[in-house]
Amino acid sequence: MTVAAPPRHSADSAIAAAADLAARFAEDSALRDRERILPVAEVEALSASGLLAITVPTEYGGPGLGAAVLTEVVRLVATGDPNVAQIPHSHFVYVNALVEQGTEEQKRFLLGEVVAGRRFGNAQSEIGSKHVRDHATTLRPDPAAPGAWVLDGEKGYATGALLAHWIPVLAHLGEGGPLSVAWVERDAPGVTVVDDWDGLGQRTTASGTVRLERVRVAADRVTPYHLTFERPQAYGSFAQLLHAAIDAGIARAAVRDAAAFVTTRSRPYPDALALYDTSGAAGDPLVVQAFGEVELQVRAAEALLAEAGRAVDRARASLTAATAAEASLAVAAARASTTAASLEASSRLFEVAGTRSALRSHDLDRHWRNARTHTLHDPAAWKVHHLGRHAIDGTPPPNHGQI
């Protein structure tokens, strides 16, 4: 049976498709969270929609849409279910890595896979590592196939790997050699993906463990990674931008669900009834004030997020140390703001909605659990620190993947 290729999007159609999918994903997001049902159908729908190919350049069959459009797509999907939005985070990051460092043959083949609807996962973080840049996983020469490699190692926090077709693995090329990306098929011999993720939030991302035991990797399935940070780059800010988009989506979903609860289920406080003759909790002036304060914070975060997307696009169009630094600073502001907004909105939800909102059956606590878990990827305090150093004396942010 021939499977139809996913559609090719314009900016407008991508955003419209993301909004439609978000509405569908929101319907059962609480159920999936409560029962820890992995969003297999939802991820397949994301692939079928063509949204996972929107950043593939036109010369490789994609629409070549930029970071600003992708940011809005990810934010919208996250309003429906931030787990579904996080699963392809590394997919987009490694599409970017491939565009920057892949050979022409690698780009034509692997980006062609993306255009056909296939997904990239990730195997980056080392199990037991004490430093974010430590990598024990190593590609060693394959004695049975000159020029090829054998890959061994164990990775954690491997979001996307369980449902991927290809797993990009970050590994040393030879003992102590440069960091490289090994492109490994999900079902290749020696690859085991373990669904052992037990986080308090983002429970259905399947961010578990990848074990690699003598996995054979062809010579043309390895791309350099270390070169990315030996020059000005927007690779890190691009990856961080998508994290901020997920947090912004969580914040907006918390406001949406709080408003729905207050207008349909919450009881008005006696003082509000006595002093303001309100007909329901939604008319309580203190509730309205609290909603206004949270809405202001969420709108500010969304505005900073949109500006950060434009800054990353500007940097990628004209990449210099100055434009790369400006993109990193804009993304740092967005990450700090979306972190605060997602935590505040998901916490104050209960303040405005009242005691009933804390019932486990409503599962409204998933917004705070999702926010608290996802915002731990990188400390917001360091984003603020880099912004402060730049404001004081113009010190540029560091040139690495965490800002």
Q: Is 132's pLDDT higher than 70? A: no
- pLDDT at position 278, please? 67
Residue 131 pLDDT class (50, 70, 90 cuts): low
State pTM to two decimals. Answer: 0.96
Q: Is 274's pLDDT higher than 70? A: no
Residue 1 pLDDT class (50, 70, 90 cuts): very low
Q: What is the pLDDT of residues 37-47, one digit of tens each?
A: 999 999 999 99
Residue 129 pLDDT class (50, 70, 90 cuts): low
Residue 133 pLDDT class (50, 70, 90 cuts): low
Q: Using alpha carbons, list the distances in angstroms from residue 171 to 43, 144, 155, 180.
A: 27, 20, 10, 5
Q: Using alpha carbons, list the distances in angstroms from residue 349 to 33, 199, 282, 327.
A: 18, 22, 13, 32
- pLDDT at position 2, please? 45
Residue 392 pLDDT class (50, 70, 90 cuts): very high
- The backbone torsions φ and ψ at residue 93, rounded to the nearest 5 degrees and listed phi first, read -65, -40
Q: What is the pLDDT of residues 207-226, one digit of tens each?
A: 999 999 999 999 999 999 99
Handedness of CA 233, 238, 244, 248 (dihedral sign): positive
Task: Please compute the mean of the pLDDT values over residues 106-119 and round it to a whole number.
Answer: 98
Task: Choose the weakest-confidence range: 118-132, 143-157, 266-280, 368-382.
Answer: 266-280
- pLDDT at position 127, please? 84
Task: Choose the weakest-confidence range: 63-67, 102-106, 279-283.
Answer: 279-283
Q: What is the pLDDT of residues 72-111, one digit of tens each?
A: 999 999 999 999 999 999 999 999 999 999 999 999 999 9
- pLDDT at position 4, please? 67
* Cβ contacts of 59-62, under 8 Å, gap ≥ 24: 60/107, 60/108, 60/111, 60/112, 60/115, 61/8, 61/111, 61/112, 61/115, 62/8, 62/111, 62/114, 62/115
- pLDDT at position 268, please? 82
CA–CA gap between residue 126 and residue 220 (Å, rounded): 24
For residue 93, the surrounding DSSP H or E stretch is helix 89-101
Q: What is the pLDDT of residues 292-304, one digit of tens each?
A: 999 999 999 999 9
Q: What's the mean per-residue pLDDT of the chain?
A: 94
CB–CB of 253/82 below 8 Å? yes
Domains detected in the chain: 11-115 (1.10.540.10), 125-226 (2.40.110.10), 231-393 (1.20.140.10)
CB–CB of 352/367 below 8 Å? no
Q: What is the pLDDT of residues 284-339, one digit of tens each?
A: 889 999 999 999 999 999 999 999 999 999 999 999 999 999 999 999 999 999 99
Q: What is the pLDDT of residues 230-251, one digit of tens each?
A: 999 999 999 999 999 999 999 9
